[in-house]
Amino acid sequence: MKQPEQAQARRIYIPAVAIQRATYRKSWGKIPVATMDAPDQICGLAQRVGYTGKSDNDLAIYRLKVRIGQSAPVFTIPGFFVIEEGIFEDYDLWLANHELK
């Protein structure tokens, strides 16, 4: 992975709209994305690609497409993400934590 991509992948991403969880019943197809350190500055878009299950409370799964700088191209962050407590959390880590419970 290139240096800027590594830095981008370590950032904490949040929805740029007030949302704590995106569920099967209550989710958006596309959500503007910001970073935790600059919550008022939109840096990309989250695209819903599926769900963690079929019940009303199962979470929506997103891909994150962000821009490293204003003139930089859009970069898709590897992996899938869910929104938990107002933060985009890596789906694999989220799944590992919830399988233990």
Question: How is residue 31 written in tokens?
Answer: 């959500």
How far CA 74 is from CA of 33, 34, 65, 92, in Å, comes to 12, 14, 6, 23
What average pLDDT does the chain have?
Answer: 85
pLDDT at 80 over 70: yes
Rounded to two decimals, the pTM is 0.83
pLDDT in tens, 6-23: 454 578 999 999 888 888
What gap in Å lies between CA 24 and CA 5, rounded to an integer?
30
pLDDT in tens, 65-78: 998 777 778 889 99
What is the H or E stretch that residue 32 is in? Answer: strand 30-35
